Structure 1
Amino acid sequence: MSAPYCWDTHIHLEQYGERADALVRESAAAGVEAIVAVSMDLASCERTAALAAAHPGVVRPAYGFHPEQPLPDDAALDRLFDWMERLAARGERFAVGEVGLPYYTRTEAEHSGSAFDEGPYVRLLERFVAFAARRNLAIALHAVYEDAHKALDVLEKHGARRAHFHWFKGDAEAVRRIVRLGAMVSFTPDCLYDDETRSLLRAFPLSAMLTETDGPWPFEGPYEGRATHPAMTRDVVAAIAEAHGIAPEEAAAALRRNAERLYGDS
């Protein structure tokens, strides 16, 4: 087995179905120390919980509701929060995620001339952030471009600092606000070929960075036609090391410390 080298801090592990358990074992053999498995809704949360129970310490669960989908009714959301409350009451540790704002759904509606009410999504994000802040839980955010500022407003309002902007895309002011808050951002394998993402590698201090895949989301460039695997985070470590002018081993150690600091008790 390779020595521990990196974390995949954002992956939809339960979406790999029967392949998920083997993926965890393969990742460990490749030096991936831990995986933060995020969820889409209550049923997804329950599948994630089962994977975390099967791989304790390696699969770190995160529970929430992904914003790029229609919102369920209030009763369904109450069931999700009640389920999370019961876990917290039993002393189980987990993160909150994936939660955030529906940037792509909203902009697609706007471009097509359709009406879109973002208000209910903002209120749901407030509820998740308040839940996480009360319990000092890490929170994994889907909040890109101008939505990063909206999410930062909510985090600052509730004093939530254990925040992770996954696959971050945003302007220089959002970068400054994230660093000032003490939050973190993660980078996927697209930093090897996407110019916008590559430029962001140099915008953040190493102390604010994490590695992720967002699997099973597929990648292009050198990954064209390949199934997304947590071991790809090793390539992200190398890209971050190059951008910051340090050895890959030094970058790996710092990135692992960051992940442990944010998700170590999840």
Structure 2
Amino acid sequence: MIKYIDMHCHCHEYSVEELSRFIGKNISLVCVSDDPVSSWKTLELKKKLGITPCIGIHPWEAHKYSEKHAKEIVELAVKNNVKCLGEVGLDKRFVSKTYDRQLRIYEIFLKAAKEYDLVLNLHTAGAWREVYELLVKNDINRAYFHWYTGPLNLLDEIISSGYYIGINPAWKIQDKHRKVIMYASLENMLTESDAPYKYKGLELRPDYVIETVEYIAKVKNIQVEHVLLKINDNYEKLFKSPL
């Protein structure tokens, strides 16, 4: 059975029982982490539920950690055969005061992604250009821009570089994201929830990816099944492995 994919979920904030219910709805979860503690929790969820784990340090948490902590997370990823670092990246919109620390930590994850051929599950708020240019500079092959709301002209460059963007249920209330969905090619889309984040009264949930697939199909005037197949294909290309 072809699965729905949630490419960016903070699974460590849910109970195992709650996650099991989402998985029971035929949703495959890619679980991101915020810091060392949640990275360990995500690895435990991999053992219990078979989710796809991403471990890292969120830019919002960067002020609490050093390059040493980032290197320890890289070591943890390699030791546990984790193929994805996330949530990692840069943020100039919400936490610009810690940008220098964010950058030092992000550069460690960039080097690791290059050395070990890892996926980067990226936070890029207000720093879309900076994140992208560092990917190119470091010759990164596999990257995913979570909940993309950046400039459309940069989107052209992201797509031409073979990177992927996240389509989030925020399309329900966010006009900027709806424009991205209209503009972007299905060839470079993946669905996500960013659950359990609350955005302007919208409580994001993994099962909203089902409605998101339906919305993409409507916007692109194609069959839901075709969107679902392509999202699965994109996941497999990004991770170089089947679900």
Query: What TM-score comes out, normalization by structure 2 length?
Result: 0.91
Identify if the C-alpha distance between structure 1 residues 121 and 220 changes in structure 2 by more than 3 Å, giving closer, same or farther: closer
Give the alignment partner of residue 22 of structure 1, picking from 17, 21, 32.
Answer: 17
Which of 6, 9, 15 is 1:8 aligned to? Answer: 6
Q: Secondary structure at 2:165's aligned position in 1?
A: strand
Alignment deviations for residues 227-265 of structure 1 (CA, whole Å, 9 cap, x no partner): 533111001101111111101111111011112222355
Contact 1:189/1:219 (CA < 8 Å) preserved in 2? no
Given residue 39 of structure 1, which amino acid in structure 2 is its aligned partner?
S
Q: Cα deviations across residues 207-228 of structure 1 (Å, max 9, x unaligned)?
A: 100000000012567xx5xx53
Paired residues of 1:63 and 1:94 also in contact (CA < 8 A): no
Q: How does 1:21-40 map to 2 (within 5 A)?
A: 21-32=16-27, 34-40=28-34
Q: 1:75-101 CA deviation, whole Å, 9 max, x = no partner?
A: xx414422432441x461330010111
Verify: 1:174 aligned to 2:144, yes or no: no
Q: CA RMSD in A?
A: 2.0
Where does residue 37 of structure 2 map in the other structure? 43
Q: Is the 8 A contact 2:143 2:163 kept in 1?
A: yes
Task: Please show how residues 51-130 of structure 1 align to structure 2 within 5 Å.
Answer: 51-56=45-50, 59-74=51-66, 77-88=67-78, 90=79, 92-106=81-95, 116=97, 118-130=99-111
Q: Percent identity?
A: 24
CA distance change for structure 1 residues 82 and 197 in 2, over 3 Å: closer, same or farther? same
Q: How many residues align?
A: 242
> Closer, same or farther in 2 for the Cα pair 1:122/1:70, shift >3 Å?
closer
Distance 1:83 1:246 in 2: 41
Residue 141 of structure 2 aligns to a residue whose secondary structure is coil
Residue 136 of structure 2 is aligned to residue 141 of structure 1: no
| Aligned: 1:159 with 2:139 | yes
- Unpaired segments ≥5 residues, structure 1: 108-115
Shift of 1:103: 2.4
Q: Is the 1:66–1:98 contact (alpha carbons within 8 Å) kept by the matching residues of 2?
A: yes
> Which residue does 1:111 correspond to in 2?
none
Rounded Cα–Cα distance in structure 2 between residues aligned with 1:125 and 1:7: 26
Distance in 1 between the 2:26 and 2:73 partners? 33
1:235 to 2:217 alignment:
no
Tell me the TM-score normalized by structure 1. 0.84
CA distance, structure 1, for counterparts of residue 77 and residue 26 of structure 2: 30
Structure 2 unaligned spans of 5+: none
Tell me which stretches of 4 or more aligned residues in structure 1 moved more than 6 Å.
Answer: none
